[in-house]
Amino acid sequence: MNDLKERLEGIAATPGPVTSVDAAAAIRRGRRIRRGRRAAAGTLAAGLGAAAVAVAVLPGSPDEPRRVRPAEQVRYPDLLVPPASFGWLPPGYAQTKVSRDDQERPSVTVSASKGKGGDEPDTAVELTVLGPGPEPPIAKLPGGKKGRWTGTELINGRVGHWTIQPGGPGSDQVPAELRWEYQPHRWALLSVLDRGIAKKETVQRIAKGVRFGGGRAAAFPFRATGVPGGLKAAQVSLGQGPDAELWLTSSGQGGGELLIEVTPASRRTPARTNTKVDGHPAFDSRLSRSDPKTGRNPANAQRLVVYGSHGFDVTLEATGGPLRSLQAAGGLTGLYRRVTLLGDDPARWTTAPLG
> Do 205 and 234 have their domain in common?
no
> Do 243 and 153 have their domain in common?
no
Q: What is the structure's pLDDT at 96?
A: 92
DSSP string for residues in 177-196: EEEEEEETTEEEEEEE--GG
CA distance 313 to 263: 5
Assign residue 330 the CATH number of its domain.
Answer: 2.60.120
> Do 9 and 135 have their domain in common?
yes
Domain total in the chain: 2
Confidence bin at 107 (pLDDT 50/70/90): very high
- Of the listed ranges 10-14, 132-136, 184-188, 323-327, the one predicted with least confidence: 10-14
Evaluate whether residue 63 is within a structural domain: no
Nearest residue to 232 (alpha-carbon basis) of 297, 304, 321, 315: 321
> Do 97 and 163 have their domain in common?
yes
> Do 42 and 150 have their domain in common?
yes
* Between 328 and 27, the higher pLDDT residue: 328
For residues 310-321, give the mean pLDDT: 95
DSSP string for residues in 11-52: HHHS--------HHHHHHHHHHHHHHHHHHTT----------
Confidence bin at 324 (pLDDT 50/70/90): very high
Evaluate whether residue 75 is within a structural domain: no
Evaluate whether residue 66 is within a structural domain: no
CA distance 341 to 309: 8
Evaluate whether residue 321 is within a structural domain: yes
> Do 233 and 208 have their domain in common?
no
> Do 177 and 291 have their domain in common?
no
> Do 105 and 197 have their domain in common?
yes
Mean of the per-residue pLDDT values of the chain: 79
Give the DSSP letter of residue 123: -
Last residue of one domain, picked from the residues 178, 212, 246? 212
Q: What is the structure's pLDDT at 125?
A: 96
pLDDT (tens digit per residue) in 36-46: 544 444 433 33
> Do 150 and 37 have their domain in common?
yes
Q: What is the structure's pLDDT at 75?
A: 64
pLDDT (tens digit per residue) in 170-206: 888 889 999 999 999 999 999 999 999 999 999 999 9
Confidence bin at 114 (pLDDT 50/70/90): confident
**What is the residue range of 98's domain?**
2-47+80-212
* Between 16 and 134, the higher pLDDT residue: 134
Last residue of one domain, picked from the residues 212, 246, 272? 212
Asked if pLDDT for residue 57 goes beyond 60, the answer is no
Assign residue 104 the CATH number of its domain.
Answer: 3.30.200.100
Asked if pLDDT for residue 290 goes beyond 80, the answer is no
Q: What is the structure's pLDDT at 339?
A: 97
For residues 315-337, give the mean pLDDT: 95
pLDDT (tens digit per residue) in 239-268: 988 999 999 999 876 789 999 999 999 877
Evaluate whether residue 244 is within a structural domain: yes
For residues 286-303, give the mean pLDDT: 69
Evaluate whether residue 217 is within a structural domain: no
List, in sequence order, the alpha helices (H) in 233-347. Answer: 320-326, 331-337
- Of the listed ranges 119-123, 154-158, 306-310, 344-348, the one predicted with least confidence: 119-123
Confidence bin at 15 (pLDDT 50/70/90): very low
> Do 23 and 171 have their domain in common?
yes
Asked if pLDDT for residue 291 goes beyond 80, the answer is no
Asked if pLDDT for residue 336 goes beyond 80, the answer is yes
Helix (H, G, I), strand (E, B) or coil at 144: helix
> Do 188 and 251 have their domain in common?
no
Evaluate whether residue 122 is within a structural domain: yes
CA distance 322 to 65: 8
Asked if pLDDT for residue 102 goes beyond 60, the answer is yes
Confidence bin at 116 (pLDDT 50/70/90): low
Specify the pTM.
Answer: 0.75
- How many C-alpha atoms does 143 have within 13 Å on its Cβ side? 6
Evaluate whether residue 90 is within a structural domain: yes
Report the percentage of the chain scoring pLDDT > 70.
72
Last residue of one domain, picked from the residues 191, 212, 233? 212
> Do 41 and 161 have their domain in common?
yes
* Between 149 and 118, the higher pLDDT residue: 149
pLDDT (tens digit per residue) in 132-172: 999 888 877 767 777 788 888 899 999 999 999 999 988 88
